[in-house]
Amino acid sequence: MSVSSEQPAFDASVWLKAGQGMMQGLFDFASRQQEMLKQAGINIAPLEAATADSQPLAKLQQEIAEQHARLWAGLVQRKPDEPYTPVVPHDADRRFAAPAWAGSPMFDYMRQAYLLNAAFLTRAADVLPVADKQAKSRLQFLVRQYVDAMSPANFAATNPEFVEKAIASKGESITRGILNMIADLEKGRIAMTDESAFEVGRNLAVTPGAVIFENEVMQLIQYAPQTAEVCERPLLIVPPCINKYYILDLQPENSFVQYAVSQGITTFLVSWRNPQQAQGRLGWDDYIEDGVLRALEVVQAVSKCEKPNILGFCVGGTLTSSALAVAAARGELPVESLTLLTTLLDFEESGDLACFVDEASVATRESTIGQGGLLAGRELSSVFSALRPNDLIWNYVVDKYLKGNAPPAFDLLYWNSDSTNLPGPFAAWYLRNMYLENNLRVPGRLSMCGVPVDLGRVTCPAYIFATREDHIVPWRSSYLGRRLLGGDTTFVLGASGHIAGVINPAAKNRRSYWVGANTTAIAEDWLAAASEQRGSWWPHWIEWLKARSGALVAAPKRAGDRKYKEIEPAPGRYVKEPA
């Protein structure tokens, strides 16, 4: 089916009113958010004053009126045989890339009017001179949520692709879409991939190894060597406990663990338990003492190496740095080097996640699950999806429910849906002391495991990796960790986002990364002096790590030792436990 390209036989005023109606709806939404901020106890007097000052908004309104006039004039003057030239650029927006949007003046106008209105409200939220940074960030975040939700691509009546597919399939696509929706309603979530295509231990997390230790908090995996000789100094990997470790061990061609082992690094990895009600009492100190530090003790004993290398990813990096600060307060420096992947140590600018954290919400957590209980994995998953709604929500609403398509098999999205719980006391402590009060950056302000901690006493060399488009750990905030740690730091910036930037296999050698010797305290100054390197950052890191991994020795013949014997093959039971 081809959508008609005949000139529209409708009045411009109708469509201008439609655009104005959307603008009014957006303003009404912003007003409701002000009331929500008030109820949350956030000072929004500067926001109200800025809204009352109509000059910036009046200027924007004048601009958008002129843009709508140009849009309409271009539409009604367009002739069927003339090349199509959009008034509003949208080439990079996948939502409107299909030819059907350009094939009909009605749908063409709809998408361009939407993009104008969306840009207008986004700019309006940006220009308001709001003194309260948290209030402004939350307003900007909520406006983005509303703007994304209001896209004409999200609705059957305003999506020409839905119409085309329904006609071409004689309604079968609508039936499939309804069935997809019913299946997801039964699951209580949007299934983003063909979940039958993957299984942990069958085609995910298959790097050979064995569990050699376990307690209530974690299992410790030792991976089998793949080279005749290995570096004498092993590596302990501490993944985030907010999700499952096998993001670092997907299919073999995408596995960070597999890469490290193949390079002659004896690799150990913490597999966090997926907490159930019995673990609902665990706190931050439990994850440090019985998690990171206990794992280090086992690695030291098994490898006969006093100072292994250690790597922490995301909140695993925050836990690892905290654990090393605890060890330093006890007069110990148990590692040779520290690698941090997309990790926050200074939470001053903590990205969109901070929009979910305020005094009222944290106090509620503390008085409920903070006393014992679980922060459900489903809730965590919903929060992370909301950070990228076009990619992780609306994309699937359109493709699955409107178009009736089956989702493709994609290992990373399978992992993304395999959620984990968090113990309530851990979550409440983490939210208050990191996101809300940013206490870790102040020497001695926090006590962990009975001792005051100071990141400045962590004096081993550190490799800090961040990603340029990270919406969870903004790279400039990750950069601030350089001034908190006490040793020499190497900072590397990768392309792409929080996960795709990290999981960038050396064999595929895609994307790029930036390196630089500048140790300035200002992230932008570092980037200005850095040089871009094509391909994966993994080889750069492995070269840095091997320089701190000692001489080559014969590979161990078996996992563990007399005390720490093999309990079960990798990936172990803990990673398979559902939320």
Residues 363 and 500 in one domain: yes
Asked if residue 258 has pLDDT above 50, the reply is yes
In a domain, 7, yes or no: no
Number of domains in the chain: 3
Contact 409, 192 (CB under 8 A): no
- Asked which of 390, 414, 438 is the last residue of a domain, the reply is 414
25 pLDDT above the threshold of 80:
no
Look over the chain and give the mean of its residue pLDDT values, rounded to a whole number: 88
Q: How far, in Å, CA of 246 to CA of 200, rounded?
A: 8
How does strand 235-238 pair with strand 309-313? parallel
When mean pLDDT is compared across 89-98, 400-409, 422-431, the lowest value belongs to 89-98
Looking up tokens 């998690």 gives 291
Would the pTM of this model clear 0.85, i.e. be above it? Answer: yes
* pLDDT, mean of residues 355-371: 93
pLDDT in tens, 480-515: 999 999 999 999 999 999 999 999 999 888 899 999
- 90 versus 72: which is more confidently predicted? 72
Residue 46 confidence (pLDDT) above 90 = no
Is 6 a member of any domain? no
Residues 18 and 131 in one domain: yes
pLDDT of residue 36: 45
CA distance linking residue 463 with residue 169, whole number of Å: 54
In a domain, 107, yes or no: yes
Question: Which range marks the domain in which residue 180 is found?
Answer: 169-198+377-414
The Cα–Cα gap between 292 and 318 comes to: 11
CA–CA dist 107, 160 (Å, integer): 7
299 in any annotated domain: yes
Catalytic residue numbers read 314
Which residue did the predictor score with more confidence, 207 or 408? 207
Q: Please check whether residues 188 and 217 belong to one and the same domain.
A: no
pLDDT, one tens digit per residue, over 421-448 is 999 999 999 999 999 999 999 999 999 9
Q: How far apart are CA 445 and CA 433, in angstroms?
A: 10
Q: Do residues 517 and 566 both lie within one domain?
A: yes
State yes or no: pLDDT of 29 exceeds 70.
no
How much of the chain exceeds pLDDT 70, in percent? Answer: 88
266 within a domain of the structure (yes/no): yes
Residue with tokens 């093959």: 569
Place of tokens 């398509």: 405
* Structure confidence at residue 531 (pLDDT): 97
Secondary-structure percent of the chain, ordered helix, strand, coil, rounded to 5: 50, 10, 40
Residue 191 and residue 151 share a domain: no
Work out the pLDDT band at 135, boundaries 50, 70, 90. Answer: confident
Q: What is the pLDDT of residue 18?
A: 47
In this predicted structure, what is the pLDDT of residue 89?
Answer: 62
pLDDT of residue 77: 73
Q: Is the domain of 490 the same as that of 520?
A: yes
The reply to whether 452 and 529 lie within a common domain is yes
In a domain, 3, yes or no: no
- Do 510 and 395 lie in one domain? The reply is no
pLDDT for residue 30? 45
pLDDT at 96 > cutoff 80? yes
The most confident of the ranges 25-34, 107-116, 309-318, 357-366 is 309-318
Work out the pLDDT band at 91, boundaries 50, 70, 90: low
The per-residue pLDDT for 326 is 98
Same structural domain for residues 341 and 396? no
Looking up residue 364, the CATH number of its domain turns out to be: 3.40.50.1820
242 domain-assigned? yes
On whether both 351 and 494 belong to a single domain, the answer is yes
